[in-house]
Amino acid sequence: MANSRVLEVTIISGEGLPAKKNAFVVVRADPWTSTSTKVDSDGGSYPQWNEKLAVDLPARSQFLMVEVQCKTYSGNKVVGTARIPVSDFTGEYFPANYLHLLSYRLRDSSGVRSGIINLSVRMKVPENALAAAATSCGAASSYSRPWTGYPVAEKSGGVVIGVPAWSRY
């Protein structure tokens, strides 16, 4: 898909779901495509999936939809939905390939609380981009101030390493 990024979404578990069995999770970044986990048939209200899903995230996407459903005799029933802002795991504040561990409240179609979904999200970065980032970070670190150490005690021979704290004042 042009102008898209790939997310690695790991659906970990659910908590306090009103479904008693056969729960699964559907993840959507746009209305036309989705991917889903396998059914957890014995997790009850606390299912565990621990399943990684690859999701194409179009550049225009603002939300990731996570929907917990359960299989019933009459078809699939939506248990709860979480609308996750893409800004929660993208942006300039996080390094490339950063793993976000997230928990979100699920709501049913009426807006009533219907449990919690636990997941992790990582923006997949091509290997050549990671190598370029490591090279540029190495070059930038040569301009930083050195770390300073001070002796701990006269006889210990150990050194305390201080972390530089920069101040604008």
User: Residue 157 falls within a domain, yes or no?
Assistant: no
Q: Is residue 78 part of a domain?
A: yes
* pLDDT the model gives residue 140: 45
Confidence band of 113 (pLDDT split at 50, 70, 90): very high
Average pLDDT over residues 130-159: 51
In a domain, 73, yes or no: yes
Most confident of 91-95, 130-134, 147-151: 91-95
- Which are the contacts of 22, defined by CB distance < 8 A and separation ≥ 6? 39, 40, 41, 70, 71, 72
- Residue 82 and residue 87: Cα distance in Å, rounded? 15
What's the rounded mean pLDDT across residues 64-73? 94
**Closest by CA position to 79, among listed 53, 110, 118:** 110
User: Is the pTM here over 0.75, yes or no?
Assistant: no
Report whether pLDDT(47) > 50. Answer: yes
List the alpha helices (DSSP H) in the chain. Answer: 127-141
Is 13 inside any structural domain? yes
Stretch 99-126: mean pLDDT, rounded?
93
Q: Is residue 166 domain-resident? A: no
* Res 144: pLDDT: 47
Q: Quick one: average pLDDT of 79-83?
A: 96
Question: Which stretches of 4-163 are DSSP H helices?
Answer: 127-141
Q: Which two tokens stand for residue 1?
A: 């898909």
Structural domain count of the chain: 1
Q: Which residues contact 20 (CB under 8 A, 6 or more apart)?
A: 44, 45
Range of the domain at 83: 4-124
Q: What is the pLDDT of residue 95?
A: 81
Domain-embedded: residue 153? no
| Within a domain: 71 | yes
CATH code at position 117: 2.60.40.150
